[in-house]
Structure 1
Amino acid sequence: MPLAEFNIGTLKYDWDDPRVADFQNNLEPVYDIARRSPGYIWHMENEDMEAAQRDAGGPFGGNPRTASTLSVWKNVASFRHFVFQTVHKQFYDRKAEWYDLDSQGTRLVMWRVPDGHIPTVTEAMERFHHLENHGNTDHAFGWNHVNAAMCGEDDDQNQNAEPD
C-alpha cells in the first residue's frame, strides 16, 4: 500500500516577510523535484493547500502563517529518498530559520492508503491529531515508528529513519 504523508508548521514570520523569501521562492522547484522522484504519486497543489489554510472554518483555523504539504508515495523508501537525498534536504536542514521548532511539537504524520486513494486535508488532520493524542500506531506514525508500521515492506533503509 502507498504511503501518505502530511506535515504542518507555523512560520515564524508572515509569508511576505523577506526572512521567508528563500523558503517561499523554492517551494515550486522542490515540488518539481518531488514530481520527478521515483515513487512519487501525488501531492496537493499549492492553490488547493493555500485555500485550505486560509479557510477560517477549516482544519487549519485560518492561520495565515500555516505551511503544510500533503503527498502520496509508493513506499517509505521513495519518500525518504526525496526528503533526505535531494535538494529538499538543504531546506529541511534550514527549517529552524522559518519555524519555531521548540513550540510546535509534532509536525509530520504518515499512514498507509489504498492504491488510488487521494487523501484530503481533513483526513490528514485527523491522522495528525491521532498521532498527537495516541502516539505512534499503524493508523498514524512518524519516522521513529516506520520500522514497526512498515513490517514486511521491502525497505532495508528503515533502520536509518530520521527522528520526528
Structure 2
Amino acid sequence: MHLAQINIGRLIAPLDTPALADFVAGLDPINALAEGSPGFVWRLKDETNNATGYHPFADDQIIVNMSVWESLDALRAFAFQSDHMDYLKRRREWFAKFATAYMALWWIPEGHVPTIAEAKERLQSLDEHGDTPFAFTFRKPFPSPTAA
C-alpha cells in the first residue's frame, strides 16, 4: 500500500500578484525536492509542472496539491524534516485560514493514481467524521491496511 495526500489552500491574492511572488518562485524548487525525496511516488501536475492550473472547487482561489508516498514516514520526513518546512512556515503569508479540512491522508493500492474527486471525498469525510481509516491526518494516523 502507498499513502496518498491532498492539501488545499485558499490564496490571499491571485498567483500573479507581488503578494505571492515568493510562493510562486518556490514551487519548482519544492516540487523538485519532493520528487527527489526518499519514498516519493507521484504528484499531481499540470502543463506548468505544478498543480496551480487545477480548480476543482467553486472558489478559484483554492489551489490543490496531491502526492503519493511509499509510507507515512517518507511523507512526514519530506513535509517536516526537509527544506519544505521553511516553505511551510510561511503558509500564513500566502493562504487564508480554512474553516474545513484542508489536508487528508489515505492508503491506496500500489500503482493507483488518486483522482481529485477521490481526494475531495476524503476531505469531506474528515469534515463529517473526523479521522478514520478512510481519511486521516498526521495528528491521528491509521496504519496501512494489509493489501488484499
TM-score (norm: length of structure 2): 0.90
- Code of the residue aligned with 2:140 in structure 1: it is H
What displacement does 1:152 show?
Answer: 8.3
Q: More strand per residue: 1 or 2?
A: 2
Per-residue CA deviations over 1:7-49 (Å, capped at 9, x if unaligned) read 0010111111101110011111100010000000000114383
Q: Sort the Cα spacing of 1:6 and 1:97 in 2 relative to 1 into closer, same or farther, 3 A.
A: same
Q: Does 1:42 align with 2:42?
A: yes
Find the counterpart in structure 1 of residue 3 from structure 2. Answer: 3
What displacement does 1:106 show?
Answer: 2.0
- 1:1-164 aligned at under 5 Å gives the runs 1-47=1-47, 49-53=51-55, 59-61=56-58, 63-101=59-97, 103-146=98-141, 149-150=142-143
Task: For residue 135 of structure 2, give the secondary structure of its aligned residue in structure 1.
Answer: coil
* d(CA) in 1 for partners of 2:37, 2:20: 25
Task: For residue 89 of structure 1, give the secondary structure of its aligned residue in structure 2.
Answer: helix
Structure 2 residue runs of 5 or longer lacking an equivalent are none
* d(CA) in 1 for partners of 2:130, 2:62: 23
Q: Bigger relative contact order, structure 1 or 2, given CA contacts below 8 A and separation 6+?
A: 2
Per-residue CA deviations over 1:91-139 (Å, capped at 9, x if unaligned) read 11111111122x4342110000001000010110011111111111000
- Code of the residue aligned with 2:16 in structure 1: it is D
Q: Percent identity?
A: 34
- Code of the residue aligned with 2:128 in structure 1: it is N
Q: More helix per residue: 1 or 2?
A: 1
* d(CA) in 2 for partners of 1:151, 1:141: 12
- Code of the residue aligned with 1:150 in structure 2: it is P
Aligned length in residues: 144
Q: Sort the Cα spacing of 1:3 and 1:46 in 2 relative to 1 into closer, same or farther, 3 A.
A: same
Task: For residue 145 of structure 1, give the secondary structure of its aligned residue in structure 2.
Answer: coil
* d(CA) in 1 for partners of 2:102, 2:52: 18
**Matched-pair contact (CA < 8 Å) for 1:14–1:64:** no
